[in-house]
Chains A and B, each alone.
Chain A
Amino acid sequence: MANRVELRKVSKSFGEVQALKDVDFILGENEVVGLLGDNGAGKSTLIKIVTGYYQPDKGEMYLNGEKVEGLTVPKAREIGIETVYQERALAELQTLWRNIFLGRELRNRVGILKIKEMKLETHRLMTQSMGFTSAAVNPDSRVGTFSGGEKQGVAIVRALYFDADIIILDEPTMGLSLKETRRLIEFVHGIKEAGKAAIFIDHNIFHVYSVADRVVVIDRGKVAGEFMTKDISLDDLMDKMYRVAETGVLS
Chain B
Amino acid sequence: MDDTVQELTEKKADLEYKETFSLSKFARQNGTQLGIFAVFIVLWAVFIFAAPDTFLSPNIYWAFMATIPFFAISAMPLTIAVIAGEIDLSFPSIMAMGMVAFILTYDATGFVWLAFIAALAMGLLAGLLNGVIVVYFGIPSLVATIGTQFFWRGMVQVLSEGSSGSLIYTKESILHPFLVGKIGGALPIQFIWLLIIAILCWVLLNRTRFGAHVYLTGDNAESAALMGVNTRRTRITVFILIGVISAFAGVIASLYVTFFWPSLGGGYLLSTLASVFLGGTSVFGGVGTIFGTFLGAFIIGAIEAATVAVGLTGFYTQVIYGLIIVISVTMHSFLRRRME
Contacts and interface: CB of A to CB of B under 8 A. Distances in A.
B224 A128 contact: no
B152 interface: no
B215 A91 contact: yes
Interface stretch (A9-17, A35-43, A99-107): A99-107
Interface stretch (A59-67, A70-78, A182-190): A70-78
Interface in B1-39: 9-10, 13-14, 16-17, 20, 25, 29
A162 to B, nearest CB: 11
A83 B228 contact: no
Contacts of A104: 227-228
A243 interface: no
Contacts of B339: 92-93, 142, 144-145
A123 B222 CA distance: 26
A138 interface: yes
Contact of A105 (B14, B212, B340): B212
Nearest to A118: B212
A221 interface: no
A92 B284 CA distance: 13
B219 A113 contact: no
Contacts of A178: none
A103 B224 contact: yes
A115 B212 CA distance: 11
A94 interface: yes
Contact of B229 (A90, A103, A115, A120): A103
B340 A123 contact: no
Interface residues on B, range: 20 to 34
Contact of B216 (A52, A77, A102): A102
A222 B118 CA distance: 56
B223 interface: yes
A89 B340 contact: no
A123 B10 CA distance: 9
A94 B209 contact: no
A73 B209 contact: no
Given A74-B228, A119-B17, A120-B13, A113 B207 contact: yes
Which of A52, A76, A105, A145 has the most CB atoms of chain B within a 10 A radius of its CB?
A105
Which of A73, A102, A139 has the most CB atoms of chain B within a 10 A radius of its CB?
A102
A193 interface: no
A113 B228 contact: no
A89 B17 contact: no
B226 interface: yes
Contacts of A76: 228
A107 B226 contact: no
A112 interface: yes
Contact of B340 (A51, A53, A92): A92
B209 A127 contact: no
A83 B226 contact: yes
Nearest to B229: A103
A102 B224 contact: yes
A187 to B, nearest CB: 20
Contact of A124 (B13, B212, B219, B220): B13
A119 to B, nearest CB: 7
B20 A98 contact: no
Nearest to A98: B212
B208 A112 contact: yes
Contacts of B228: 52, 72-74, 76-77, 103-104
A146 B13 CA distance: 21
B73 interface: no
B215 A89 contact: no
Contacts of B336: 93
A127 B29 CA distance: 21
A131 interface: no
A79 B196 CA distance: 41
A120 B207 contact: no
18 contacts: A87-B223, A89-B220, A89-B222, A89-B223, A91-B223, A92-B219, A102-B224, A102-B229, A103-B213, A104-B228, A120-B13, A120-B17, A123-B14, A123-B17, A124-B9, A124-B13, A128-B13, A144-B340
Interface of B: 9-10, 13-14, 16-17, 20, 25, 29, 203, 206-209, 211-213, 215-216, 219-220, 222-229, 286-287, 336, 339-340
Given A91-B216, A138-B25, A144-B339, 4 more contacts: A85-B223, A93-B339, A105-B209, A111-B209
Interface of A: 51-53, 72-74, 76-77, 83, 85, 87-94, 98, 101-105, 107, 111-113, 115, 119-120, 123-124, 127-128, 135, 138-140, 142, 144-145
